[in-house]
């Protein structure tokens, strides 16, 4: 059972979802404060956990509206029902469910890649930009869910939000990576000019995915800090101040990621504009030829 859980977490990380271990790792790797040497112990006599340990884009034309994927983050999800059923299932049943889920995911990825084979590079660029629009919406929903949890103080509502967010970000990430792979396979058959252009697109997509992965893990870490701060008693002012400082640091790093992502998106938009202008020039040349 434990191996199955670990494998699921690893697969989730590869798909571009939220791996809570990465979020905790961000928190644990921060610069320690002086009070970390205070030697606090927990009820078992082990070192206690300190406050710093462990733990928009251009709109698409109507003809492109089906090329992105917009997901309702907080609609009831299949994963939620699977998770609840696994709690009362035997190890063999759990393994079967996990295998079935993985097979469905593989089949969906294959269908996605097949649907991309005949599309031009212009459509790929539009799809990537549309996915980014949907990522922004997903972050808004995710942050709104955190605010709801903080107001209600029902911490049990947060794990389902993480599960739904992971599903949303994973599907969007799958789409972007499928586009990257398809463009990569076409490069060898291009002339030098086209090869240079499409190589730059692949590089931009790789940088985009890397920045998005970092932003997502920083966001998860920021959420954890907010939840920890909400659980502190009013008299714990020192620890609350440190947690607030940690939140400010994470917020700053998230903004840096956003800046990097926007720079990459600007490059992709420029590439899209360039290709659209080339297509228009070809059409104009064709019209002139036909008129002659």
Taking phi first (over 0 means left), then psi (-120 to 50 degrees means alpha), and beta for anything else, what does residue 153 get?
left
Q: Alpha carbon of 163 to those of 7, 23, 91, 109, 147: distances in Å?
A: 16, 14, 21, 20, 17
Taking phi first (over 0 means left), then psi (-120 to 50 degrees means alpha), and beta for anything else, what does residue 118 get?
alpha
The answer to whether the beta carbons of residues 223 and 146 sit under 8 Å apart is yes
The answer to whether the beta carbons of residues 181 and 93 sit under 8 Å apart is no
Output the tens digit of pLDDT for each of the chain's 292 residues.
444 444 444 444 444 556 556 655 655 555 444 434 444 433 333 444 443 333 344 444 444 333 333 333 333 434 444 444 444 445 555 455 455 556 677 887 788 888 888 899 999 999 999 999 999 999 999 999 999 999 998 989 999 999 999 999 999 999 999 999 999 988 877 888 888 999 999 999 999 999 999 999 999 999 999 998 888 877 778 888 888 899 999 999 999 999 999 999 999 999 999 999 988 888 877 777 777 6
pLDDT the model gives residue 93: 54
Maximum separation of any 2 CA atoms in the chain, in Å:
91
The answer to whether the beta carbons of residues 198 and 121 sit under 8 Å apart is yes
Closest CA to 70 of 166, 181, 169, 162: 169
Q: Which residue's structure tokens are 């035997």?
A: 90
Q: Which residue's structure tokens are 């252009």?
A: 197
Tokens of 202: 């692949």
pLDDT the model gives residue 75: 39
Residue 188: Cβ within 10 Å count: 7
Angle between helix axes 192-230 and 158-186 (nearest 10 degrees) is 170
Q: Report all structural domains of the chain as residue ranges with CATH numbers, in order of start.
A: 112-271 (1.20.1420)
């Amino acid at each position: 059972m434990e191996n199955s859980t670990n494998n699921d977490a690893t697969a989730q990380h590869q798909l571009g979802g939220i791996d809570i271990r990465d979020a905790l790792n961000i928190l644990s790797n921060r610069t320690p404060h002086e009070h970390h040497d205070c030697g606090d112990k927990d009820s078992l006599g082990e070192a206690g956990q300190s406050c710093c340990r462990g733990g928009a884009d251009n709109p698409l034309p109507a003809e492109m509206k089906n090329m992105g994927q917009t997901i309702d983050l907080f609609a009831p999800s299949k994963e939620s029902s699977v998770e609840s059923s696994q709690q009362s299932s035997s190890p063999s049943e759990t393994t079967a469910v996990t295998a079935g889920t993985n097979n469905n995911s593989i089949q969906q990825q294959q269908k996605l890649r097949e649907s991309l084979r005949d599309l031009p590079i212009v459509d790929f660029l539009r799809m990537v930009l549309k996915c980014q629009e949907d990522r922004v919406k997903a972050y808004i929903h995710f942050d709104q869910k955190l605010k709801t949890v903080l107001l209600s103080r029902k911490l049990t509502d947060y794990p389902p939000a993480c599960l739904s967010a992971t599903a949303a970000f994973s599907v969007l990430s799958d789409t972007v990576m499928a586009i990257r792979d398809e463009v990569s396979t076409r490069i060898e058959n291009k002339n030098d000019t086209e090869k240079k252009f499409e190589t730059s697109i692949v590089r931009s997509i790789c940088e985009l995915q890397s920045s998005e992965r970092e932003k997502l893990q920083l966001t998860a870490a920021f959420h954890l800090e907010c939840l920890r701060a909400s659980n502190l008693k009013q008299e714990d002012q020192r620890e609350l101040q440190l947690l607030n400082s940690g939140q400010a640091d994470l917020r700053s790093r998230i903004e840096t990621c956003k800046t990097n992502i926007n720079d990459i998106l600007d490059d992709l938009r420029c590439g899209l504009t360039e290709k659209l202008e080339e297509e228009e020039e070809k059409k104009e040349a064709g019209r002139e030829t036909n008129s002659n």
